[in-house]
Amino acid sequence: MGCCSGRCTLIFICTLQLVLALERQVFDFLGYQWAPILANFFHIIIVILGLFGTIQYRPRYIVVYTVWAALWVAWNVFIICFYLDVGGLSKESDLLTFNISAHHSWWSEHGPGCVRREMPQAPGVRTTESHSYISVMGCFMDYQYIEVMHSSVQIFVALLGFVYACYVVSAITEEEDSFDFIGGFDPFPLYHVNEKSSHLLLKPMHLST
């Protein structure tokens, strides 16, 4: 009963992680954040693997998910430090785009309440865009705090997944051990029972003779 409850909870957590990861992936794509895009891609694959292992009673897959959950927590701690400029990191750097482009978080220009002031293109200047943004004003919350909130939610759900994954692996392992102990994989118990029954049936006949 406990294992079933733990499995159902872990399935729900994995499903929630997939939804949160897909939501985050969309906004990282919009902001051309290549490092988070790559991390989200691996995260989605491992969560699907953990979900499959939970449904199909595959503890090895769940162990892989458990290890990744710890790494995912560490990655999101790094993202929080990056956007809060902790430890020499700077949110203004191009680290998350692999220095390929100067794009920043999509929320930096599209956050709640943000208003962008636009300047028409200068005469004779040809660019791929018809205008350039020069300022963003009126945001209810700075974009770095939105990113920190996203990472905090990811950490919280990943920790829950880590705890329940450890519990499910332990429960499945105990069930397999108890099944082995009672002879679940012994190919001879039925033969021994039948042999004992045949001796009991033959014994009265031998005494009567």
Q: Which sign does the torsion angle of CA 140, 144, 150, 155 carry? A: negative
Instruction: Report the percent of the chain where pLDDT is more than 90.
Output: 52
Q: Is position 48 within any domain?
A: yes
Residue 203 pLDDT exceeds 60: no
- Residue 166 inside a domain? The answer is yes
**DSSP category for residue 121:** P
pTM of the predicted structure, to 2 decimals: 0.76
Residue 158 lies in a domain: yes
Helices 34-55 and 2-30, axial angle in degrees (round to 10)? 160
Q: Report the chain's mean pLDDT, rounded to a whole number.
A: 82
pLDDT tens by residue, 26-69? 999 999 999 999 999 999 999 999 999 999 999 999 999 999 99
Average pLDDT (20-30) is 95
Say if 186 falls within a structural domain. Answer: no
Residue 118 forms part of a structural domain: no
Strand (E) or helix (H) holding 37: helix 34-55
Residue 57 structural domain = 1-98+144-177
Name which of 16, 33, 27, 26 is nearest 158 in CA terms. Answer: 16
Segment 140-145 shows an average pLDDT of: 91
Q: Is residue 136 part of a domain?
A: no
Residue 71 located in a structural domain = yes
Domains: count for the chain: 1
Average pLDDT, stretch 145-161? 97
Residue 49 within any structural domain of the chain: yes
